[in-house]
């Protein structure tokens, strides 16, 4: 059991690190996602008439994330003492897979993180989940799957075979690709891929990776933790 728990914690940490970065198209460089991507998105949340701004927490988390990579070898878990006090301590990064839903939200099996490199496995309830985003994500993937089915054996790759790479004196370069095997289907798939790019979730299964406030425990005997995403708000300027 101890070995299994250790494995789960290692997987949680790996997922947390992997999803903080993406591979830049063309160069293949591993670069951080910007503040609107992944768990950093939707910094404004409303609870009734109160709007919570998570920007300070996001900034702190970015610094802690870098520190956990740079300083862990020297300081271990004490790396946090080298940082300012963590703001908004009721908020956690929660991530995992949706295993069911009830009248209040989703039941998620995954991990809870109170700081980078500090994860624990958990099954929890997430209230006010982003159902609209999930519905659109599933809709787009279903449409893409239908186009791929029509493509048959020729397939529907987004990135074609590289024919050549031209590099210029100013340091820029242009990559030349082969023509799509199914040009009509490719034209239909392109806006789907582009819209999916704006939803920072890898693969075809929607998963949770967000900041949420811990509000208590379920009183149904399971004693599961309850987190609340709040109502998403967008800046007016």
Asked if residue 176 belongs to a domain, the reply is no
Asked if residue 32 belongs to a domain, the reply is yes
pLDDT of residue 24: 34
Query: How many structural domains compose the chain?
Result: 1
**pLDDT exceeding 90 applies to what percent of the chain?**
51
pLDDT of residue 190: 94
pLDDT digits (tens, 9 = 90+) for 177-189: 778 888 899 999 9
Asked if residue 112 belongs to a domain, the reply is yes
pLDDT of residue 179: 80
pLDDT of residue 236: 67
Task: Taking residues 182-198, report their average pLDDT.
Answer: 94
Task: Work out the pLDDT band at 219, boundaries 50, 70, 90.
Answer: confident
Task: Work out the pLDDT band at 25, boundaries 50, 70, 90.
Answer: very low
pLDDT digits (tens, 9 = 90+) for 104-149: 999 999 999 999 888 999 999 999 999 999 999 999 999 999 999 9
What domain range includes position 115? 2-134+199-233
Q: DSSP code of 180?
A: P
The CA distances from residue 145 to 21, 41, 152, 153, 160, in Å, are: 26, 27, 11, 14, 18
The CA distances from residue 193 to 36, 85, 175, in Å, are: 18, 40, 19
Asked if residue 175 belongs to a domain, the reply is no
Alpha carbon 189 to chain centroid, angstroms: 23
Asked if residue 38 belongs to a domain, the reply is yes
Strand 118-127 to 231-233 pairing? unpaired
Asked if residue 165 belongs to a domain, the reply is no
Q: Are 129 and 102 in contact (CB under 8 A)?
A: no
Length of the chain: 237
Asked if residue 184 belongs to a domain, the reply is no
pLDDT digits (tens, 9 = 90+) for 26-69: 333 333 444 345 888 899 999 999 999 999 999 999 988 888 88
For the chain, the average pLDDT equals 83
Asked if residue 209 belongs to a domain, the reply is yes
């Amino acid at each position: 059991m101890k070995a299994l728990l250790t494995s789960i914690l290692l997987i949680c940490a790996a997922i947390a690190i992997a999803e903080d970065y993406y591979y830049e198209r063309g160069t293949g460089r591993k670069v951080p996602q910007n503040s609107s991507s992944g768990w950093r998105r939707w910094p404004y949340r409303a609870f009734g008439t109160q709007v919570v701004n998570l920007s300070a927490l996001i900034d702190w988390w970015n610094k802690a994330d870098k520190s956990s990579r740079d300083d862990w070898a020297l300081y271990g878990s004490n790396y946090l003492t080298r940082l300012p006090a963590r703001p908004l301590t009721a908020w956690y990064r929660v991530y995992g897979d949706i295993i069911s839903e009830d009248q209040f939200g989703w039941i998620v099996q995954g991990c809870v993180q109170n700081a980078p490199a500090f994860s624990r496995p958990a099954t929890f309830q997430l209230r006010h989940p982003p159902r609209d985003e999930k519905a659109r994500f599933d809709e787009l993937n279903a449409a893409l799957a239908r186009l791929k089915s029509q493509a048959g054996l020729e397939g529907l790759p987004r990135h074609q075979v590289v024919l050549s790479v031209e590099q210029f004196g100013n340091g820029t370069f242009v990559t030349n690709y082969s023509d799509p095997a199914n040009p009509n289907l490719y034209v239909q798939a392109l806006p789907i891929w582009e819209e999916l790019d704006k939803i920072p979730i890898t693969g075809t299964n929607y998963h949770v990776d967000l900041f949420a406030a811990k509000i208590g425990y379920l009183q149904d005997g399971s004693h599961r933790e309850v987190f609340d995403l709040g109502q998403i708000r967008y800046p007016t300027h």
